[in-house]
Amino acid sequence: MKTLILVRIAVRSIFKNKLRSLLTMLGIIIGVAAVIVMVAVGQGARLQIQQRIDNLGSNLVVITPGAGRSGGVSMGAGSSNRLTLDDYEAVDRECILLTAVSPMIVAPAHVVGGGGNWRTGVMGVSVDYPHIRNWGVSSGRLFDEAEQRAMRKVVVVGQTVVDNLFPDSDPVGQQVQLRDVPFEIVGVLERKGQTAEGRDMDDVVLAPYTTVRTRLSGRMYIPQILGSTDDKADIPAAQEELRAILRESHGLASYDEDDFAIKNQSDLAAAAQGATEVMTLLLAAIASISLLVGGIGIMNIMLVSVTERTREIGIRMAVGARGGDVLVQFLVESIVISLIGGLLGVAAGFGGAALLERLSGWETVITPQLVALSLGFSAAVGIFFGFYPARKAAGLDPIQALRYE
């Protein structure tokens, strides 16, 4: 009951000087709103990156060339490529934990068809590739194993290719030319969007790797081998299994370093989100400066309030109030100011995040934990910056306070 009375007195004191109280809260309102908006932008960016990484595939494992050396100096990742289709066949044949495996043979080419042409990337993949990437077709079908074995000239095209070559018609069943070689379009891929790096995943043409190897590429080495597992928990064991298979396939001795690299989806996500987390913390730290300014404003106004109410404090002490009671009273006033400012700041933060998302198209995410943290921090600001004025009020001499004019 005593706490309720103190809160009621604090609210009455705040509303007695509405304009001054609002100006005092302004720093807290701006600080809390800024923190919420900045963190919401960072969380939204993390969510978008995670969604785009999930679009890369299910429980993805990526095998890439390793780092070559010259004179004992590493030339960097991917500088020494010894991955071949023999490696892919060994992995496909011997790796138990991978449920799907596909090579990737990249052959940039101009696609001619539908009365126009479009330069894009042609990727030679296996029939497992759509399963690895969780990628279906919006029309038509995917090529099958029989077409892969027979090196049939069939392709599945992405939505960006369709938009540029066949904007007003269904491309399924029509022919396109890749480096003067005619191919039949058998399907159109579902729209995927962009990667975390901003690359358009729909700007692609998929064909059987056997066809791309013989008709378009002719290269001995391949840039990537992709695989996936049924369960994310199987990925570490699958990576070890892959390492053993590839080392044997490349004839590496026990003292030789790996001439390949094996990465998984978690590695990709951690690398992509690390920069986002740093950005979020930096933005939140900058926005928190407003809370510091708001706290200083609360301390200043509370000191003024103590001076104005010195005689009132003396009367309270004269009728039996202790120093601790006065301290709690002024501390409660400071906390109430901060909490009201925090609530208004949360409302402003929601509005600001919604407005930013609508105007800029950036996705924002506001979680209950963020709201609770903002309110808790605003209350902490009230306690920290209100303690000194409250202690000053509690330390007044009752007789001197009564005599104060």
Of 258, 286, 303, the position where a domain reaches its end is: 258
What is the model's pTM? 0.60
216 located within any domain: yes
Residue 312 lies in a domain: yes
Q: Write down which residue in 201, 226, 258 finishes a domain.
A: 258
List C-alpha distances in Å: 333 to 79, 309, 336.
66, 13, 5
Q: Are residues 116 and 224 in the same domain?
A: yes
Give the C-alpha separation, 16 to 18, whole Å: 6
- Based on the fold, state whether residues 146 and 186 are members of the same structural domain: yes
254-281 pLDDT, tens digit per residue, is 888 888 888 887 666 665 566 666 666 7
Residue where one domain finishes, among candidates 206, 232, 258: 258
Shared-domain flag, residues 159 and 27: no
Whether residue 44 is found in the same domain as residue 172? no
Residues 85 and 43 in one domain: no
Asked whether residue 61 is assigned to any structural domain, the reply reads no
* 290 plus 385 within the same structural domain: yes
Question: Looking at the domain assignment, is residue 70 inside a domain?
Answer: no
Domain-embedded: residue 196: yes
Question: 63 lies in a domain?
Answer: no
Are 103 and 210 in a shared domain?
A: yes
Percent of the chain with pLDDT over 70: 78
Of the ranges 71-80, 158-167, 384-393, which is most confident? 158-167
Please give the tally of structural domains in the chain: 2
Average pLDDT over every residue of 154-173: 91
pLDDT in tens, 63-113: 988 765 444 444 444 446 778 999 999 999 999 999 999 999 998 888 998
Pair (137, 238) in one structural domain: yes
- Do 187 and 284 lie in a common domain? no
Asked if 224 contacts 62 with a C-beta cutoff of 8 angstroms, the reply is: yes
Full domain range(s) for residue 348: 2-52+271-403
The answer to whether residue 68 sits within a structural domain is no
Task: Provide the pLDDT confidence category of residue 357 given band limits of 50, 70 and 90.
Answer: confident
Is 97 in the same domain as 185?
yes
pLDDT digits (tens, 9 = 90+) for 214-233: 888 877 889 899 999 888 88
Mark whether 98 and 245 lie in a shared domain.
yes
Is 59 among the domain residues? no
Residues 252 and 277 in one domain: no
* Proportion of the chain above pLDDT 90, given as a percent: 26
